[in-house]
Structure 1
Amino acid sequence: MRKTVVIDCFPESVKTYRNSHVIVAVDVIRATTTVVTGVARGRRCFPVPTIEAADLLAAQLTNPLLVGELDGLKPSRFEMNNSPAELESRTDIHRPMILLSTSGTRLICGAREAQAMYVACLRNYSSQAAHLVAHYSTVALIGAGTKGEFREEDQLCCAWIAERLLRAGFEPQDTRTAAIIERWSGVPADAIIDGASAQYLRRSDQCKDLEFILTHIDDLDEVYRFEGDQVRKHVEKPMDQHRRPFQSEDKLTA
């Protein structure tokens, strides 16, 4: 069976792939890093696409933590910005997180009807790649995008995942995917520091998030799946007679 991987960008592109591909959402700065950081610590996480959706969900949860940004600014009534560094330092893990972002959570929620939907970032890219290799044959890695741009950090993360798929026998679905993989092959993570997203974090005095991202590279051996309006740590189901057990690959260096 031919196995393929495609790299694309923006929430609007989800409709192209949701009926035919497993989708992996990537928004390194910062939504998927925030999601992964929260769930890894044991916090329940509910991405939402709009303020209205956040308000509706908040009314149904007990003492929720509203986290997010729209165009970089924390909405009124929200307790904290879309900051993985701040979230990591909080001790109120019992509070469910409602997360809203300009494009990242729109991407996640837009893929709700996909055959399978995962959330990944630089913290777990090797584990995400190994899981895809073990279970799927058509993969779409989609960057959230910001202001019409496919940001460097999302290209890098998507390319690093895709490169591992190629090593396992996958093929690029198109020439653009092949070009993105080639561009970021062997490039260090700190290559993103001059990108537009990193520049914004510096201008807005949010360097702690950039530092957090660059000091937490591939430090989680977990996979995170979006299902039932919530991002959950994926746990392999007990194997039945028709299923082969998942064999985790050793991590490959970037």
Structure 2
Amino acid sequence: MNIDVIFSANEVTKEKVVGKIVVVIDVLRATSVMLTAMKNGAKEIRPFKEIDQLTSYTKDLKGILKCGERNGTKIDGFDLGNSPLEYQPEVVCGKIICMTTSNGTNALVNSSYGKKILIGSYLNLDILCKKIDEINEDLVIVCAGTNGEFSLDDSLCAGEIIKRVKYKTLSDSARSMYMIASTPGTLKDKLKETKHYNFLKNLGEVRDLEVCFSINSKNIILEYRDGIIF
């Protein structure tokens, strides 16, 4: 299994993912929200890159939740933002979630040419890595990043995945993330000085940070296919 890492949604091209297994990561917070929502009974999630695409699609639909954020805050007129704490069973169970976020949904849609696209975060590390080992095909880990730039919270998660899978030949980018993930220290120790961590902390989202760093708290596999996460 050859493993490569892409460091932001903007770097994803058809040529980099076509014919490969893809894992998309947006730890803070889109993929963590997706795993939480589906674990809590949501029917499916439909990601969109742009707000107007989502609002046009949902204009005449009933029984859906419009969800997402820009600059870390809930979009005006939407039902939910991008905090996993909002996606409680009594809110999302049985609902179709239509979501757009600053980085994560872009990474997903840009990865659409992948052979199989899986959703990753710290919340489902071990079960995800078990699935990757079962498939045992060339893998690209797509980190959503932040506004087109490298983000350590996502890339460290990529390294944690690489540490756990058994059969691997690593690109230089994958090897660098493996080395960072292999250094001593907790997730909080490694990430507490990073830009995105402190951005959310300054927004008052400390509980979100705790939830998003809860390793293996959501023991599920999610796949993105034909515009739907299920």
8 Å Cα contact 2:36/2:218 also seen in 1: no
The answer to whether 1:77 aligns with 2:69 is: no
Q: Which residue of structure 2 lines up, in the alignment, with residue 13 of structure 1?
A: 11
Q: Which residue of structure 1 lines up, in the alignment, with residue 176 of structure 2?
A: 179
Q: Deviations over 1:149-203 (max 9, x none)?
A: 32121111111111122xx12110x222211111111542222232211101111
Q: Which residue of structure 2 lines up, in the alignment, with residue 247 of structure 1?
A: none
Q: Distance in 2 between matches of 1:48 and 1:37?
A: 18
Q: CA deviation at 1:110?
A: 1.5
Q: Which residue of structure 2 lines up, in the alignment, with residue 246 of structure 1?
A: none
8 Å Cα contact 2:153/2:191 also seen in 1: yes
Q: Which residue of structure 2 lines up, in the alignment, with residue 249 of structure 1?
A: none
8 Å Cα contact 1:61/1:96 also seen in 2: no
8 Å Cα contact 1:39/1:231 also seen in 2: no
Q: Distance in 1 between matches of 2:26 and 2:87?
A: 16
The answer to whether 1:51 aligns with 2:48 is: no
Q: CA deviation at 1:204?
A: 1.1
Q: Equivalent residues in 2 for 1:61-210 (5 A)? A: 61-88=61-88, 90-165=90-165, 168-172=166-170, 174-185=171-182, 186-190=184-188, 191-210=190-209
Q: CA deviation at 1:71?
A: 2.2
8 Å Cα contact 2:40/2:92 also seen in 1: no
CA shift in 2, pair 1:114/1:148, >3 Å:
closer
SS at structure 2 position matched to 1:124 = helix
The AA in structure 1 aligned to 2:222 is Y
The AA in structure 1 aligned to 2:7 is C
Higher Cα Rg, which structure: 1
Q: CA deviation at 1:100?
A: 0.8
Q: CA deviation at 1:14?
A: 2.4
The answer to whether 1:28 aligns with 2:27 is: yes
| Deviates further, 93-102 or 137-146 | 93-102
8 Å Cα contact 1:151/1:197 also seen in 2: yes
| Deviates further, 88-97 or 193-202 | 88-97
Q: Distance in 1 between matches of 2:185 and 2:172?
A: 20
Give unmatched runs, 5+ long, in structure 2.
none
CA shift in 2, pair 1:108/1:40, >3 Å:
same
Q: Distance in 1 between matches of 2:92 and 2:139?
A: 35
SS at structure 2 position matched to 1:114 = coil
Q: CA deviation at 1:92?
A: 4.1
TM-score, with length taken from structure 1: 0.83
Higher relative contact order (CA closer than 8 Å, sequence separation 6+): 2
Q: Distance in 1 between matches of 2:90 and 2:36?
A: 11
TM-score, with length taken from structure 2: 0.91
Instruction: Count how many residue pairs are aligned between Structure 1 and Structure 2.
Output: 226
8 Å Cα contact 1:62/1:95 also seen in 2: no
RMSD: 1.7
